[in-house]
């Protein structure tokens, strides 16, 4: 016993200097991964002359001119479209997914596995395989460049993730809680609202955040199915390059603002990110 | 799961009540199910149908049934074959490299140290950045031949004014993708590391195993499920990569870096060839089904582990 403790202590002692090196390495790597983002934000505060230099400039007089330039080139309507598509699709996802997750976890239907299998298989269907008919349908029913068409596609894109993620929260609800609700003679809907909903609120919020992240960043559908009227922020960003030519600082300002909302949302939701990304498989 | 099915009561009720109970159970599921079927399955059936037509998107009424001609055409199209090869190459390289880096970073982060949560926040940022913006900053901030940081850093080593994006288009795409996907891999592996029982590790240390031996013989087998899950989920997303290719190289120079999603986009919306684009879509689906069947099994297995 004494020797075993001795070995463990020695081990800890030996690990300590290595620990400092590892810590410094972790910090350096973390900084390197973050550096491109940092450089983008820094460049956004430069004048164009400071941004296009052979030797990167670290010291310069910061300016908000580039952000003003982006606002002046019609940024806000695209933000409005993105917000609308993201918010409405996320609400739709929750309206569809909360009852569905309930039906595969709390009071499971027969063939629950098959249903879950189906939902996740739709996520695995490559979007390129359906883009042509979607475009043709949108064209025929006059929904090209219409934000509602994107709302529907964003909803279907996030629905499987939401069903799986919500299910993972619901299976954690203790059985006694549900039993208690049933003994009281509460109906299905009442027991859901009174007992489950308050317990699930954090899980629902986390699911919504994941949906927001994916919908805000979506480019493929938006790029092909929308243009000037219903275009979203990524579409603006792409159009910005071609219409404005190559202005590093202004481009950085546009990219910074486009990326900012989701970066902040993701930082806030760090703890729930893993569960969302693994569709609830990992907590 | 088992604890939740236990309190449901069926035995004492008659058939009619059971049937109505069945519908009250199925009811909440139906809207989502019907929505998913209409929005994802119907378009795919149309894709199958279109793949048998010769049809120019901008000439209405040009539809003509041609049977399997489109499939014959795409398989004799060398661009299609190279796009398929690029898809495999990009996905394999990105997922492989990102996973190795992700494991390394997860191990580094799975320790107590000053500023741990700050470093983790820095590391996950590339995954949160809008992919279009991420591709932009790689193309112009990092890899630009004249103003890019990479050439400035490598300048003393004689990189000069290398135009990375046009000289090494596939590598440039993989770099941007690895940067984006490493945090994804890292987060999933880190979750695996943190789920590892600490007693097992302590026991291994007490037995005198070195850090590396413990990692290879104790930790890696435990991580296997997490790594498989992350690789397969990552691969399913990366196969569909469009944003980075559109932004960085436009599939060029020529078709040197086009993957299948990008080539399908080109055939459909620049070449207006609905039939061939649809046929390629079907081929991608068949390929994906093979991979995803595997993925699904694994995901279900992972669930069993978590809930046991």
In chain A, what are the domain boundaries? Answer: 2-65, 74-277
Confidence label for B303 from pLDDT (cuts 50, 70 and 90): low
ipTM of this predicted structure: 0.86
Q: Check if the beta carbon of residue B216 is closer than 8 Å to that of residue B225.
A: no
Q: What are the tens digits of pLDDT across the range A120-136?
A: 888 878 888 899 999 99
Reduced to 3 states (helix: H, G, I; strand: E, B; else coil), residue B65 is strand
The arithmetic mean of pLDDT across residues B184-209, rounded, is 87
Residue B155's CB: how many other CB atoms inside 10 A? 13
The tally of CA atoms less than 13 A away on the side-chain side of residue A254 is 29
Confidence label for A99 from pLDDT (cuts 50, 70 and 90): very high
Residue B277's CB: how many other CB atoms inside 10 A? 29
Reduced to 3 states (helix: H, G, I; strand: E, B; else coil), residue A52 is coil
Let me know how many helices (H) and strands (E) chain A has, helices first. Answer: 14, 0
Do residue A132 and residue B3 have CB atoms under 8 angstroms apart?
Answer: no
More confident residue, A185 or A78: A78
Q: Is it the case that residue B164 has pLDDT exceeding 70? A: yes
Q: Check if the beta carbon of residue B299 is closer than 8 Å to that of residue A277.
A: no
* Spatial separation of the C-alpha atoms in residues A281 and B98, rounded to whole Å: 20
Residues 135-194 of A with CB under 8 A from B: 135-137, 152-153, 155-156, 159-160, 163, 171, 173-175, 178-179, 182, 188
- The architecture of the domain spanning A74-277 is Orthogonal Bundle (1.10)
Q: Domains plus CATH for chain B? A: 78-307 (1.10.3720.10)
Contacts 24+ apart (CB under 8 A), A143-149: A144/A225, A144/A226, A144/A227, A145/A225, A145/A226, A145/A227, A145/A228, A145/A229, A145/A230, A145/A231, A146/A226, A146/A229, A146/A230, A147/A81, A147/A84, A147/A85, A147/A226, A147/A230, A149/A225, A149/A226, A149/A230
pLDDT for res B68:
92
pLDDT for res A186:
60
More confident residue, B179 or A244: B179
More confident residue, A19 or B54: B54
Residues 172-201 of B with CB under 8 A from A: 179, 182-184, 187-188, 190-192, 195
More confident residue, A136 or A180: A136
Q: Which of B36-45, B94-103, B152-161, B176-185 has the lowest mean pLDDT?
A: B152-161
Q: Is it the case that residue A55 has pLDDT exceeding 90? A: no
Q: In this structure, what is the dihedral angle of CA atoms B75, B76, B78, B84, given to the nearest 10 degrees?
A: 0
* Spatial separation of the C-alpha atoms in residues A116 and A160, rounded to whole Å: 8
Q: Is it the case that residue A1 has pLDDT exceeding 50? A: no
Among the partner-chain residues B35, B121, B146, the one whose CB lies closest to the CB of A156 is B35
Mean pLDDT computed over every residue of chain A: 85
Q: How far is CA B205 from CA A18, B193, B218, in A?
A: 16, 16, 11
Confidence label for A16 from pLDDT (cuts 50, 70 and 90): very low
- Give the residue from A34, A117, A133, A257 with the most B CB atoms within 10 Å of its CB, the best one to mutate: A133
Confidence label for B308 from pLDDT (cuts 50, 70 and 90): very low
Q: Which residue of B has its CA nearest to A151?
A: B39
Q: What are the tens digits of pLDDT across the range B78-102?
A: 999 999 999 999 999 999 999 999 9
Q: Is it the case that residue B54 has pLDDT exceeding 60? A: yes
Q: Is it the case that residue B16 has pLDDT exceeding 70? A: no
Helices B274-307 and B42-50 cross at an angle (nearest 10°) of 140
pLDDT for res A246:
74
Among the partner-chain residues A103, A133, A220, the one whose CB lies closest to the CB of B28 is A103
Q: What are the tens digits of pLDDT across the range A79-94?
A: 999 999 999 999 999 9
Instruction: Report the percentage of chain A scoring pLDDT > 70.
Output: 89
The arithmetic mean of pLDDT across residues B137-141, rounded, is 90
Most confident among A179-188, A210-219, A262-271, B213-222 (mean pLDDT): A210-219
B103: left (phi over 0), alpha (psi -120 to 50) or beta: alpha
| Contact residues, chain A, for B4 at CB < 8 Å | 105-106, 108, 171, 173, 175, 178
Q: Is it the case that residue A74 has pLDDT exceeding 50? A: yes
- B187 min Cα distance to partner chain A (Å): 6
Among the partner-chain residues B27, B129, B137, the one whose CB lies closest to the CB of A263 is B129
- A81 min Cα distance to partner chain B (Å): 16
Residue B253 at interface with chain A, using a CB cutoff of 8 Å? no
pLDDT for res B14:
60
| Contact residues, chain A, for B248 at CB < 8 Å | none
């Amino acid at each position: 016993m004494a020797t075993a403790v001795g070995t463990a202590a020695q081990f800890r002692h030996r690990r300590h200097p290595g620990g400092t090196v590892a810590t410094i390495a972790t910090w350096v790597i973390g900084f390197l991964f973050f550096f491109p983002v940092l450089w983008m934000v820094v460049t956004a505060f430069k004048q164009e002359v400071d941004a296009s230099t052979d030797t990167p400039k670290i010291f310069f007089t910061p300016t908000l001119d580039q952000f003003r330039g982006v606002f002046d080139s019609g940024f806000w309507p695209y933000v409005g479209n993105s917000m609308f598509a993201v918010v409405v699709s996320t609400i739709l996802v929750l309206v569809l997914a909360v009852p569905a997750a309930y039906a595969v976890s709390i009071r499971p239907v027969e063939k629950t596995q098959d249903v879950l299998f189906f939902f996740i298989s739709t996520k695995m269907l490559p979007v390129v395989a359906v883009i042509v008919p979607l475009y043709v349908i949108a064209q025929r029913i006059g929904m090209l460049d219409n934000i509602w068409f994107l709302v529907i596609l964003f909803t279907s894109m996030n629905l499987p993730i939401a069903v799986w993620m919500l299910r993972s929260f619901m299976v954690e609800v203790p059985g006694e809680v549900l039993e208690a609700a049933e003994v009281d003679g509460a109906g299905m809907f009442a027991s859901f609202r009174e007992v489950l909903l308050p317990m699930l609120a954090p899980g629902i919020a986390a699911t919504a955040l994941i949906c927001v992240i994916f919908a805000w960043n979506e480019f493929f559908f938006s790029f092909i199915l929308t243009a000037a009227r219903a275009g979203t922020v990524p579409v603006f960003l792409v159009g910005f390059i071609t219409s404005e030519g190559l202005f590093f600082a202004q481009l950085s300002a546009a990219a910074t603002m486009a990326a900012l909302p989701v970066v902040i949302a993701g930082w806030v939701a760090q703890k729930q990110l893993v569960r969302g990304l693994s569709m609830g498989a990992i907590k | 799961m088992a604890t939740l099915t236990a309190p449901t009561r069926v035995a004492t009720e008659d058939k009619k009540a059971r049937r109505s109970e069945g519908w009250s159970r199925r009811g909440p599921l139906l809207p989502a199910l019907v929505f998913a079927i209409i929005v994802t399955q119907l378009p795919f059936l149309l894709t199958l149908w279109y793949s048998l037509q010769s049809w120019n998107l901008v000439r209405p009424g040009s539809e003509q049934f041609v049977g399997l001609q489109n499939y014959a055409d795409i398989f004799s199209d060398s661009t299609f074959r190279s796009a398929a090869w690029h898809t495999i190459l990009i996905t394999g390289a990105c997922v492989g490299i990102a996973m190795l880096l992700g494991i390394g970073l997860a191990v580094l982060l799975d320790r107590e140290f000053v500023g741990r949560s700050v470093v983790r926040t820095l590391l996950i940022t590339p995954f949160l950045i809008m992919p279009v913006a991420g591709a932009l900053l790689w193309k112009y901030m990092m890899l630009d031949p004249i103003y890019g940081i990479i050439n400035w850093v490598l300048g003393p080593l004689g990189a000069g004014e290398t135009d990375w994006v046009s000289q090494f288009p596939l590598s440039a795409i993989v770099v941007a993708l690895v940067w984006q996907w490493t945090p994804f891999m890292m987060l999933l592996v880190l979750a695996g590391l943190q789920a590892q029982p600490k007693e097992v590790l302590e026991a291994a240390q007490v037995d005198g195993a070195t850090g590396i031996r413990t990692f290879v013989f104790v930790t890696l087998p435990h991580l296997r499920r997490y790594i498989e899950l992350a690789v397969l989920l990552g691969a399913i997303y990366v196969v569909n990569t469009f944003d980075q290719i559109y932004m960085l190289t436009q599939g060029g120079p020529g078709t040197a870096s086009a993957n299948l999603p990008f080539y399908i986009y080109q055939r459909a919306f620049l070449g207006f060839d609905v039939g061939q684009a649809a046929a390629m879509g079907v081929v991608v689906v068949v390929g994906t089904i093979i991979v995803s069947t595997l993925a699904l099994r694994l995901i279900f297995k992972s669930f069993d582990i978590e809930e046991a």
